[in-house]
Amino acid sequence: MKQLDSYSMMIVAKYLNNSNELMNIVLVCRKNKELLDKFRFNPIPLNNQSKKLFHYIETQYLYSPEEERDNTYSNTTYCYPINLTEIDLNDYSKKYLRIVVNQFSLLDSLNNKETMKKLHITDLKIKFPPSITNFNILSSVTKLGRKTFNENTQLNQITLPNCIRKLGKELFYGCSNLTLIDFGYGWNTIKEGTFKGCVSLQTIKLSPFNSMCELTMIPKKEINIICNGPTIYGKIPYSISKVLKLHSVQCNKIYYGKEDLLNSTTTITNNKITIPKEVNIIESGCFNCNYTLKSIQIPEGITKLGKYSFYRCTSLTSIQLPSTLKIIKKSCFGFCENLIEIEIPQNVKEIPTECFIGCNKMKRIKVKKNISIAPDALTNCNAIITY
């Protein structure tokens, strides 16, 4: 019978109610005798009795409004919703908040306060009143959670601050009257479904530091996609890079993914695909389960093949990898049952886990001498490694 180790017990302790329950865990097993000294926060509410149990607390967790804050601890975390007017923000040297705003007037007034500018807001969800059509987000916000602006149909324009580092999925879901989205100069990734339901969208201003996932759901119509700078340094899909090129915007990392394949941005003849020469990366799962693909020409300039790129391409018989290729990810050629041989370019340093799993007709894999091969890279593959 397996027992929980002391670190697992620390997780269990978060679900206890009082010090008596916690002491029972400590006393029931000798290996838990130092459990309490490992805590840097209180897993249960603090009172005169429970304070004596924890000698190394750095952060006080407050679990209910009835608990009092102890100024002897350097950090405080509120584990329940509070109104920002209930606390004096000047009492805290560092502020990390997740804010859910139901009263927009409160947020608007706080935006003008000096203390608000010092906040580090890690998440923000807003329901706007009908009178608000244009909105500039607080300059202290660093994260926007999933569906932050969910079905705010009255919004017309939104500008994101430069300090945002993380964007949730389906960010502008159902914002049917939104015409302009400006991503400023933030360093973040635009996730799946970001523009889903934005049927009135006319202009998207990207940050030079944006990356874009696939399936962002940009409406299939004429949309003006521009950039707040001459170059985009993040990963951009090939279809978007073509639009940006019309505005003389240079894209440093262009990937080719399923969306590009579905949008027919490649030349397809006799089940052979030719990828555009501007592409640098084949995105994860791009040709996954493409049962008709027999041959593919990968141009020079491609540096990375994502995981499952050609997974279960059961008709694939030949593929030539470019000399510029540096990275091959997990299960890239898994279950390519008719692939007979392949040559790995000199710049590739590793053949990853399950790279050729199930390639039962593979006869030869040519590699450089000092390449690293994962132990399970050739599972159910009897190919001979040659140099």
Token digits of residue 370:
């000092």
Which tokens is 31 given?
């290996």
The whole model's pTM is what?
0.74
C-alpha of 206 from chain center: 17
pLDDT band at 103 (very low <50, low <70, confident <90, very high): very low
Are residues 124 and 224 located together in one domain of the fold?
A: yes
Indicate if 66 and 96 belong to the same structural domain: no
Distance CA 188, CA 213 (A): 11
Q: In total, how many domains does the chain have? A: 3
Q: Do 219 and 140 share a domain, yes or no?
A: yes
Q: Are 252 and 275 in contact (CB under 8 A)?
A: no
Helical segments of 64-181, H only: 104-110
**100/197: higher pLDDT:** 197
Which of 52, 80, 108 represents a domain boundary (last residue)? 80
Assess if residue 242 is contained within a domain.
no
- Say if 190 falls within a structural domain: yes
CA dist 233 and 272 (Å) reads 31
Q: 104-108, 172-176, 297-301, 373-377 — which is least confidently predicted?
A: 104-108
Domain with 116, as residue range(s), is 90-229
Tens digit of pLDDT for each residue in 215-259?
898 987 778 999 999 999 999 999 999 999 999 999 999 999 988
332 and 356 share one domain: yes
**Bigger pLDDT: 263 vs 273:** 273
Q: With beta carbons less than 8 A apart as the criterion, state whether 256 and 281 touch.
A: yes
Q: In what order do the strands lie in the sheet with 267-269?
A: 267-269, 272-274, 295-297, 318-320
Model confidence pLDDT, tens digit, residues 50-88: 999 999 999 999 999 899 889 888 888 888 877 666 566
